[in-house]
Amino acid sequence: MSITESSESAFTEEEDSFNTRYSLWIKEALDELPHSFTITDPFISGHPIVFASPGFLKMSGYSREEVIGRNGRAFQGPKTNRRSIMEIREAIREERPIQLSLLNYRKSGSPFWMLFHMSPVFAKTDGKVIHFVAVQVPISGRGHHRKVRNGSGLTGDVSDRSELVFGSCRREVRLGNFVHQSRALPVECDEQGLEKWEHCEASESEKLRAGEAINSVLSILMRYSELSGRLVCGKRHCLRGAECLSSSLVISLGRIKQSFVLTNPCLPDMPIVYASDAFLTLTGYKRQEVLGQNCRFLSGVDTDSSVLYEMKDCILKGQSCTVQILNYRKDKSTFWNLLHISPVRNASGKTAYFVGVQVEASCRGTESKEVRPETRQLSVVGAVRVAVRSSFMVTC
């Protein structure tokens, strides 16, 4: 698997994320909005940005190519409040809106305070999260007239927060102990200085503006989904169906880089409900081609039916097993699959999925500096168990 291959396929996925859901010209319509916002797709591994508005690009200093495919965390930096990061992570996990002040970084490395307002976008039919829209309203600080101390001990009004950073830089230089850290901001050691990084409250009008921006983005998304017939909305209208996974579960599963699928034994014919990027690379199929299918499409004329029977038996007994099985790729080429299957329980202790982890037999001879292939395979099972168990613990 080459890097170019995987990034290429990711790029198409980001395009698809929009094109399959909305009618033509959606991007042009979004481009006309004056707001700074991004749209992310939790169902693509890495939860990347699939759209960034001209306002966002201007504010952050990045080009569109540099932003698409990246995760929102790329704009956070050393002074970004850890607690705020946790709160955003939580909102994503619970698929709910959130509004908070956040310190982000421009391409130039200069930090700025903004009001971050994020909201999920749901499919009207099955309640599945389609995207997250995140609006960024810069916090002016004007009207607050905070008294801020600068390095010389004088007090003054500072409205541009990026000034502040350089102010502290200069102090470090003055003290003669400024160490040049490539692009890194000097660690703010001054007690008052630390406080300024901790919180910056947005004004009521900024909060209002963020809410309005979210609404205008949502209304465009809704309008263009109507035209395509695959409706989205800003509020969940029905409970998520059994066949679709929560976005938080998909984000957690997306961190696992090996080839694996999840199948749901409670649905007829035990279809695949999740397939990792590496699985798609290994087998040559596209995600849409495998979701909803039973795994038997991997078998072919030379596949040993007694192995298939053995697998079926284990699944019926709810046990785990490891088999070696001849599988077929989309292009009909074959490979020996060292397949491990395990039942995976949800938070109530019931078997919710089976995980199947594929290791191509020829790839087994790894160098001695690696974790044993068997351990790597089992680590996927472990990571899936952790992700599934907690994704069912959300109270909503």
Partner 1 sequence: MLKIKRVPTVVSNYQKDEAADESVGCGRNCLGACCINGARLPLYACKKLEKSGAGEKLVISHETREPPVAFLESLVLGEWEDRFQRGLFRYDVTACETKVIPGKYGFVAQLNEGRHLKKRPTEFRIDKVLQSFDGNKFNFTKVGQEELLFQFEAGEDGEVQFFPCMPVDAENSPSVVAINVSPIEYGHVLLIPRVLDCLPQRIDHKSLLLALHMAAEAANPYFRLGYNSLGAFATINHLHFQAYYLAMPFPLEKAPSKKMVTTVNCVKISEVLNYPVRSLLFEGGKSMQDLSDTVSDACVFLQNNNIPFNILISDSGRQIFVMPQCYAEKQALGEVSPEVLETQVNPAVWEISGHMVLKRKEDYEGASEENAWRLLAEASLSEERFKEVNDLIFEAIGCNKQEKELEEPTVHQQNHSGSVNQKSNRTHGGPITNGTASECLVRQ
Residues 250-289 close enough to bind partner 1 by CB under 8 A = 251-252, 254-257
Q: Is the dihedral of CA 388, 389, 391, 395 positive or negative?
A: positive
- Count residues near partner 1 (CB under 8 A): 74
Residue 5's alpha-carbon distances to 35, 77, 94, 265, 281, in angstroms, are: 34, 30, 33, 32, 8
Q: Roughly how many angstroms between the first and final C-alpha of the chain, as a whole number? A: 40
From the list 32, 65, 204, 370, which residue makes contact with partner 1 (rule: CB under 8 A)? Answer: 370
Q: Is 382 in the site for partner 1 (CB under 8 A)?
A: yes
**What's the one-letter identity of residue 56?**
F
- Near partner 1 in 149-178, by CB under 8 A: 149, 153, 175, 177
Q: How many CA atoms lie within 13 A of 388 on its CB side?
A: 25
142 versus 146: smaller Cβ distance to partner 1: 146
154 versus 239: smaller Cβ distance to partner 1: 154
Q: Is 189 in the site for partner 1 (CB under 8 A)?
A: yes
- Measured distance CA(277)–CA(5) in Å, rounded: 11
102 versus 213: smaller Cβ distance to partner 1: 102
- Measured distance CA(92)–CA(112) in Å, rounded: 23
- Near partner 1 in 212-251, by CB under 8 A: 251
280 versus 381: smaller Cβ distance to partner 1: 381
Tell me the sheet residues that pair with 117. 99, 135
Query: Binding marks (x or -) toward partner 1, 17..36, rule CB under 8 A?
Result: --------------------
- Measured distance CA(131)–CA(40) in Å, rounded: 6
267 versus 321: smaller Cβ distance to partner 1: 321
Among the residue ranges 29-37, 133-141, 187-195, 326-334, the one whose residues contact partner 1 (CB under 8 A): 187-195
192 versus 305: smaller Cβ distance to partner 1: 192
- Measured distance CA(13)–CA(20) in Å, rounded: 10
- Near partner 1 in 40-99, by CB under 8 A: 45-48, 69-71, 73-74, 76-78, 80, 82, 86, 89-90, 93
- Measured distance CA(34)–CA(59) in Å, rounded: 12
